A and B are shown apart, each in its own frame.
Chain A
């Protein structure tokens, strides 16, 4: 990923884009992890 950015605008478009994808991943991952964490203590 050695793209060179000349403007903050381009940089933001790129990094925020990746960040949104990661955010989506987190929103999927965290509930799964939560399930893993608490699965056994439904009593």
Chain B
């Protein structure tokens, strides 16, 4: 028992070693580099220009046919509390006191390598070549993994719809931009705090502003590299962490974060059958050897016993034979004597009949004595 348990543990240990070796290090993408769709669009949000008028929120509500909120878009008191996107609010403007009031708009950033798309197990999200990340409500199961995955906490869910809930988020006004129109929020912004254009050009424009007014801007274009880069870009006077944007997200895109674990999957499928059938074969073999040893031991004892029995039998037979032989000899002698006597008697009677008797007596020594009596 103890030994076989150890074998079992040894097997697990070996499997574990293999697991650690194969699961820990594999990466899918090697040194391939993906630059995203060429000439895709984006939006540059200049936080220093935003006045918190909420016109973009209103425009977004209108162009997306969203239900009107209870408090009107004119009411700026909603800025007193921090808000995030919601099922029927695709964009919000928040106020940050740094200590001067600063306003920053928040909506889907349309990542170059969207975490939501990487996470979705039915491909509901698509990074289109326009730059917009679109969502297909027709396949969405409602697992909400996209919401877990999005580092910017953007997608929202219609939790109160019983049967047809969907994920919602800013579409970058995809239907409008393919018609050649501007996104609703960009179009309405009175201060040009939002600029729509090709992402590459927007990055250049952003840096130009930063170079031109180094005192006004912090030298960081948010979204240029965050989480692999986003189509929506930001420049700000204050550090971004002061205006509600996380600066600790890193620059690794979502697919890079999971490629290692994903790469381990086929390796397991490739190697586990080998390990497992190997372990099976080993345990089978050990079993077989054990069985053989057992069989052999049994056979040996059996053989020994047989040999002994045979020997005993032989001895017995010998003894018997000896006894028999002596008995036979005795009988034969007796018979011979008798025969001799008879013969003499008969000789006297008829001289012709006495040829075979001594021959037969010789044979009888080795063979069946029963015939002899005849």
Contact = CB atoms under 8 A, between A and B. Distances in A.
Interface of A: 38, 41-43
Contacts of B6: 38
Interface of B: 2, 6
5 contacts: A38-B2, A38-B6, A41-B2, A42-B2, A43-B2
Nearest to A30: B13
Task: Please classify the interface of chain B as helix (H, G, I), strand (E, B), loop, or mixed, using the class held by over half of its residues.
Answer: helix
Nearest to B1: A41
B34 to A, nearest CB: 21
Contacts of A38: 2, 6
A3 to B, nearest CB: 18
A38 B1 CA distance: 12
B368 to A, nearest CB: 60
Nearest to A41: B2
A43 B6 CA distance: 14
A41 B6 CA distance: 11
The 3 A-B pairs at the shortest CB distance, nearest first, are namely A41-B2, A43-B2, A42-B2
B5 to A, nearest CB: 8
Contacts of B2: 38, 41-43
A4 to B, nearest CB: 15
A20 to B, nearest CB: 15
Nearest to A42: B2
B309 to A, nearest CB: 35
Contacts of A42: 2
Nearest to B6: A38
A41 B3 CA distance: 9
A41 B2 CA distance: 7
Nearest to A37: B9
A42 B2 CA distance: 7
B248 to A, nearest CB: 15
A5 to B, nearest CB: 15
A38 B2 CA distance: 9
A43 B5 CA distance: 13
